[in-house]
Structure 1
Amino acid sequence: MKKFEEKTIQSETIFRGKVVHLQVDEVRLPNGKTSKREIVKHPGAVAVIPVTKDNKIVFVEQYRKPLEKSLIEIPAGKLEPGENPITCAIRELEEETGYTTNELSFVTSFYTAPGFSDELIYIYITDELKKLDVPKDADEDEFVDVIELTLEEAKQYVLEERIHDAKTNYAILYLHALESRG
């Protein structure tokens, strides 16, 4: 038995949506007692840290309904079933920013909210951007503005909470670390 493992006794899907599914599991705890776990099932996501030739980071600003406000974020999107993360990363970069690339480097992956969700996000970086001659159509329910910022400007946006999500904060921290190494 894995340390602290919770054994599923029963699992019930209570909602199937376009983006997530919600299930409630009854589990046996390591001490033998039982408890309920509400779990958001998510297919996973990708995000790209796009850096231009003049060393600006390409962000998108979009409205986030759960927060009732707009955030400035690195381009990102949901994986389709069976989709390769690199394929998804290029698609999202093209749809959201009008840029493409042939060079993506894997940075890391992490769970976004492991207390209630299984979403795993893959982060890539590129400094080999090419503007598309004909921009790709964004998803019909997605509205974004493209913003290019220096690393210093992005850090200020973090302080102002205009950049306020984990993946984008991670991206800025990562770029700051690269810059500090010289």
Structure 2
Amino acid sequence: MVREREILGTGKYLELVREDGWEFAIRNKGSGVVGIIPVTDDNALVLVEQWRAAIDGPCIELPAGLVGDEDDAEEDMLVAAQRELEEETGFCAREWKWLYEGASSAGMTPETVHMYLATRLSRVGQGGGTSHENITVHVVPLDTIEQWLAEQRKRGATIDIKVFGALGIARGAVDPLD
């Protein structure tokens, strides 16, 4: 099947495409996306918060990032996950488990996210992201996280939907490979 693709606009990071009547965005940089579910030895989930222009406000998220966006198109997914965890949160993990890959927003982008569970964490830095990011790190006990998330919503933060999906995995109640 031949698809007719039209480029509607190209920015520094995204391209807007129309294909067979559908419009969607494609990233110009990077070869993939990784997301991390970092769980401390004392059963806390490490989350990040940053202002997001698309929602015009703060967003509570799992640590995540682009693979190969630093001029290394061949970067390994796990290596990218390890790099992003340390950059964004200041934590390193001694144990990593690949969980699954899935669409981030199938109606808007062909992008998929490779999710990893990171455990046996140790703090090696402050986190906060790279020079163009302003990330706040939150270490939230799993036994009070729903209340904490509700408080964040009340103050006006958006909670990324992947955080809710990560809770069962972080608590060990859900194994996505079963």
* TM-score bucket (shorter structure): 0.7 to 0.9
- The equivalent residue for 2:94 is 102
Q: 1:57 pairs with 23, 45, 48, which one?
A: 45
Structure 1 residue 8: deviation in Å? 4.2
| 1:13 correspondence with 2:4 | no
**Please, what TM-score do these two structures have when normalized by structure 1?**
0.79
Taking the TM superposition and a 5 Å limit, the aligned residue runs for 1:19-168 are 19-25=13-19, 27=20, 36-42=21-27, 43-80=31-68, 81-132=73-124, 138-160=129-151, 161=153, 162=157, 164-168=159-163
Q: 1:152 to 1:102 in 2, by over 3 A?
A: closer
Aligned equivalents of 1:136 and 1:168: distance in 2?
A: 19
Unaligned runs of 5+ in 2: none
Q: Secondary structure at the match of 2:54?
A: coil
The answer to which structure, 1 or 2, has the higher relative contact order (CA under 8 A, 6+ apart) is 2
Structure 1 residue 18: deviation in Å? 3.5
User: After alignment, is 88-97 or 67-76 more displaced?
Assistant: 67-76
Q: 1:19 to 1:79 in 2, by over 3 A?
A: farther
Aligned equivalents of 2:16 and 2:135: distance in 1?
A: 28
Structure 1 residue 165: deviation in Å? 1.3
Moved over 3 A (4+): 134-137, 157-163
Unaligned runs of 5+ in 1: 1-6, 28-35
Q: Which amino acid aligns with 1:19?
A: Y
Aligned equivalents of 2:67 and 2:150: distance in 1?
A: 30
Structure 1 residue 151: deviation in Å? 1.6
- Aligned pairs, number: 164
Structure 1 residue 153: deviation in Å? 2.6
Aligned equivalents of 1:137 and 1:157: distance in 2?
A: 20
Aligned CA-pair RMSD? 2.3
Q: Which amino acid aligns with 1:11?
A: R
Aligned equivalents of 2:160 and 2:39: distance in 1?
A: 19
